[in-house]
């Protein structure tokens, strides 16, 4: 399978470009969702665990990962990657002025493992559409 992409016409963001200048860019498009149910079903095809067992283990892994993150630990999942909560704060002149309220909302960082990153070099591309004159939003929208 290949990653699907399309071309779109967007504003030229290069330094010195005219205000109305546009360039053609390629953007990948999501072609579907791989559900938790399908993941569990597919895992059962590769091992002797039942689907309820797989669901139970993955759900427990997520719960334990949340608890570890809230303790300030890095969660290491061999072959998958690392998860970590990271936050900074606004600055103040002295340590005495610092208050916990200055801390910003933590971000969840994911650092993929080297084995997971190998998928990048195997990626191939296949065009979905040709370039159009419409500029579209990058955010996914549901079609009802």
Residue 3 confidence (pLDDT): 92
* 3-class secondary-structure state, position 109: strand
Residues in the chain: 144
Residue 1 confidence (pLDDT): 75
Among candidate residues 125, 86, 128, the one with its CA nearest the CA of residue 109: 86
Pick among 4.10.520.10, 3.40.50.720, 3.40.50.2300, 1.20.120.430: CATH of 3-129: 4.10.520.10
Count CB-CB contacts under 10 A for residue 55. 18
Query: So where are the chain's domains?
Result: 3-129
Cα 98 to the center of its chain, rounded Å: 33
Residue 130 confidence (pLDDT): 62
**22 beta partners:** 11
What are the residues whose beta carbons fall under 8 Å from the beta carbon of 138, sequence distance 6 or more?
27
Residue 144 confidence (pLDDT): 45
Residue 101 confidence (pLDDT): 95
Residues 61 and 73: their CA atoms lie apart, in Å, by 14
Q: What is the mean pLDDT, run by run of 10 residues, along the chain of 144 residues?
A: 89 91 91 94 95 96 98 97 97 95 97 95 86 56 51
Residue 128 confidence (pLDDT): 86
Instruction: Read off the pTM.
Output: 0.73
Contact 106, 88 (CB under 8 A): no
DSSP string, 13-29: -STT--TT-EEEEEEEE
């Amino acid at each position: 399978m290949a990653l699907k992409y399309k071309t779109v016409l967007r504003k030229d963001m290069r330094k010195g470009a005219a205000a109305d200048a546009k360039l053609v860019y390629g953007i990948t498009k999501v072609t579907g969702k791989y559900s938790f149910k399908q993941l569990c079903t597919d895992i059962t095809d590769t091992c002797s665990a039942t689907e309820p067992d797989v669901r139970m283990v993955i759900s427990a892994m997520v719960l334990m990962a949340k608890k570890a993150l809230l303790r300030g630990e890095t969660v290491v999942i061999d072959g998958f990657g690392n998860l970590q909560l990271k936050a900074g704060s606004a600055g103040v002149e002295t340590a005495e002025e610092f208050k916990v309220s200055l801390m910003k909302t933590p971000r969840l960082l994911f650092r993929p493992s080297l084995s997971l990153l190998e998928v990048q070099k195997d990626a191939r591309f296949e065009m979905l559409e040709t370039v159009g004159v419409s500029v579209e939003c990058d955010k996914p929208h549901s079609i009802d």
